[in-house]
Amino acid sequence: MLFHSPIFLFAFLPLTWVVFRVLAGRHCERLALGWLVAMSLVFYAYWNPVYVTLIVISIAVNFSIGTRIAPDDSRLGLRSRCWLLYAGLAFNLGLLGYFKYANFFLDSMRGITGWSYNLQHVILPLGISFFTFQKIAYLVDAYQGRTGKYTLLEYCFFVTFFPQLIAGPIVQHHQIIPQLERRETFRFRLLDVWVGLSIFAVGLFKKMVLADGSAVYVAPVFDAAAAGQGISAPDAWAGALAYTFQLYFDFSGYSDMAVGLARMFGFLLPINFNAPYRATSISEFWKRWHITLSRFLRNFLYIPLGGNRRGMLLRYRNLLVTMLLGGLWHGAGWTFLLWGGLHGIYLIINHAWDSVSSRWLPMAFVHSRPMRFLGWAVTFGCVVAAWVFFRAANWTAATEILHAMGGQTMASGLAFYITDVPWLWLIAMAVVAFGFPATHDYFWRYTPALDPPRRRSRFARMAWRPTFVHGAALGVLVFLIFRKYFVLQPTEFLYFNF
Amino acid sequence: MLRYVIGIVAGFTGAGVVWVGLFLASFGILDTHGDRTVTAWYQIKQEVAGTKSGAKKIVFVGGSNVLYGISAAEVEQAFGMPCLNFGTHAGLPFDYLLHRVKQVVSPGDILVISLEWEYLHRPLDDLNSVYTGCILGGEPRYFWRLPASQQLRICFSAPVSRLVLPLTISPEASAGVQNVYMDSVRGVHIDSWGDFMGNFPERRAKSELARLLGLTPHPCTLAEAEGHSDFWKVVRELRNWAKRKRVTVVFAAPALLDNPILTGADYRQIFAAGEKHYESLGIPVIARQNTNFYGESLMFDSVYHLNSAGREIRTKQLIEGLKPVVSRGSTPK
């Protein structure tokens, strides 16, 4: 069920919300929570009922392991707890490995050795990459004694709560479950509904108008490259830039919708995007892009690998390994691995430059406006180039587009690009991505999400308030969303594939 | 909070009113090269039809496979009766093609439909920029004939570039530009039979042709060809209209590139099923697909577009197919 599908908007959401509010209003908090868990499973089952079994089994296994390995009241010794933790990790990674990587592994084996083994094509369960990471984080925290005494219902809610179930933000138990213990979470506040609905509408606008609007300029270029047709330089740039904006608005739109939906029910989710294309370095980009994933990779991969504690070379190795695995997390394919590797290399260069510049160059120069602009331009260019690998069907198509972007092409324009429309559109997208406040900046007065950036935003003065002007602005966005229902069938979110 | 809600309603309504207002104000204004070209073709073909009224005539209707691939001039010469090539663009819905051709067909005429196979696959209310640009700019009357649901779709799916047109050009100025454009097309691209004049083999861009021929079309499925497509509803309506108007309707398969996929068993089965369904609806088939494949040297710039050499071959075949129909001069069963 897609957040922007009519069945979700006009049936599932109102029903779920009304019953939740009635139950919560009568102080039946447990029942209200149970209702949300049940409806979240219905939400998941709508895509493929068979895989509800998978998520239920996974919850049961992880919860029972988690409660046994917590040091506070475990009857097990350290060694047994450790083995149980490994078993839990193996279980989660095994599920992810089978469902997400089995086909990729066998195809790669076939390509390398010629060995052929016929495995029935495995369908990737929706959101498995996201909820697997949540559970791994929970197990590790439980082992380290950082979890409370959660009930099964609380744990189920933490895993299945439908706004974040399919494509994040990747929430951690300590972000969600403590909210359940506060009575005011269940209290009805009209402001929550309006703030939630408004954030949801902004997300919907990003998805349906901005992301889907960019998509029409992406597919012709990448499809042509995959079919081995020549791409002209302007087409290649238009396609790559359009995809850069499509992916951002698609995924950040989804995250906004998730945050808005949760807020309508009185819950807060962590922010996932903080205007990433304004980053002036790659390391800053990763603090702004898919923040919950970056945090997970840092806490559960980069730091356990040694982080920056064992010298420069090992730090670079850790960065590269983390980003390679981060790339593989996004998709079982060599292009994703390349994308991750490329970002790993970017980060290594970034850190190397930081250490060189901090030693040899005056700080005033490094942080001067022209240098920051240069940093932004280089960062954005590198990110765009890496997205080409992320989107391209294969290595050949990606290099074809990158060569064309570098001017190494003899091809003339595609028929789709006989007008200047893509450029006007791309300029508009750039203005929104670079010049407009991030959603949490716009709603900062009303604490839209968990962990908002502490720095006061330069957009503070135009922040959202429930006034006529902001209502009218939202009304215009809602109209633009409304008209999209006449144009397109709802399309899936890009991150559903990952 | 009430002010916020009022603001939302006001913003939504205001945006809607502005949108619809600009949309209505854009009627009669042609925008893109595609709108202008297709509208100019229709305007010229309508003029040509005017010169051929009175006598019984043969009218060819379809997408660009007709425009590029049939010589109405040669058919006219062969039968000694007026002929008109009314082929334009396959992106236009069949219902719209019929709406235009019904304006030039009279009782006793022979209507040869030669439709690209994609028509069977495409939804009847499929929108594209050339179609909407054409009807809003060149034929607003047709817009008002459409069901309300389609009118709303066309209105709300109109691109912003179309909505800002009334702010930059008036319908009168647009018509003036169109007249100039039409003069540059008349006698240069379209001749006095409605035939396309510029598809000489030596004028084709070989690299572009190779690219386009490399794209394998997915015309339709077997089920759609066998009758499970809304397209056939329009064909049935045409048959009934033709009966009432005493117009003979026949089907001629479009010209197609001779490539291994299109001539393969699967596609042949689909084409044969389509032809059979035309016949089952009482529409005779005068040229079958299996005799209408052409080598690359006879194509101009796509799998459906013949060059003038290919057109000559196809037209001869059509003349043979038309002979019994012309001599019979009968209405459909």
A468 and B15: CB-CB below 8 Å?
Answer: no
- Residues 421..480 of A with a Cβ closer than 8 Å to B: which? 421, 424, 466-480
Distances in whole angstroms, Cα of residue A202 to Cα of each of A214, A250, A253, A453, B233: 17, 12, 7, 19, 42
Please give the mean pLDDT across all residues of chain B: 87
Any catalytic annotation for residue A174?
no
pLDDT band at B217 (very low <50, low <70, confident <90, very high): low
Judged by average pLDDT, the poorest of A40-44, A455-459, B266-270 is A455-459
8 Å CB contact between B223 and B308: no
From A330, A343, A351, A440, active-site residue: A330
pLDDT at position A165 over 50: yes
User: Distance between CA A219 and CA A217 in Å, rounded?
Assistant: 6
pLDDT tens digits along A360-379? 888 888 888 999 999 999 99
For residue B93, give how far its alpha carbon lies from the nearest alpha carbon of chain A (Å). 17
Contacts of A270 (CB under 8 A, 6+ apart): A169, A171, A175, A291, A292, A449, A450, A451
User: Distance between CA A478 and CA A9 in Å, rounded?
Assistant: 13
pLDDT tens digits along A15-27? 999 999 999 988 8
User: Distance between CA B122 and CA B229 in Å, rounded?
Assistant: 9
For residue A473, give how far its alpha carbon lies from the nearest alpha carbon of chain B (Å). 6
Q: Please state the separation of Cα A25 from the chain's center in Å.
A: 33
A471 and B5: CB-CB below 8 Å?
Answer: yes
A472 and B33: CB-CB below 8 Å?
Answer: no
A469 and B7: CB-CB below 8 Å?
Answer: yes
Please give the mean pLDDT across all residues of chain A: 86
For residue A264, give how far its alpha carbon lies from the nearest alpha carbon of chain B (Å). 16
Give the one of B7, B16, B215 whose C-beta lies nearest to A472's C-beta: B7
- Residues 108..127 of B with a Cβ closer than 8 Å to A: which? 127
pLDDT tens digits along A86-145? 999 999 999 888 888 877 777 777 777 777 666 666 677 888 888 888 889 999 988 888
Residues of B in contact with A477 (CB under 8 A): 11
Residues of A in contact with B6 (CB under 8 A): 468, 471
ipTM of the complex: 0.80
8 Å CB contact between A337 and A324: yes
User: Distance between CA A403 and CA A390 in Å, rounded?
Assistant: 16
Structure confidence at residue A419 (pLDDT): 44
DSSP string across A56-111: HHHHHHHHHHHHHH-TTT--S-HHHHHHHHHHHHHHHHHHHIIIIIHHHHHHHHHH
Q: HSE of A299 in the Cβ direction (CA atoms, 13 Å)? A: 15
Q: Suggest the residue from B5, B6, B12, B162 to mutate for an interface test with chain A (most A CBs closer than 10 A).
A: B12
> What's the pTM value of the predicted model, to 2 decimals?
0.81
pLDDT at position A421 over 80: no
| Strands B58-62 and B285-287, bridge-based pairing | unpaired
Average pLDDT of the residues in A20-40: 92
Residues of B in contact with A474 (CB under 8 A): 7-8, 11
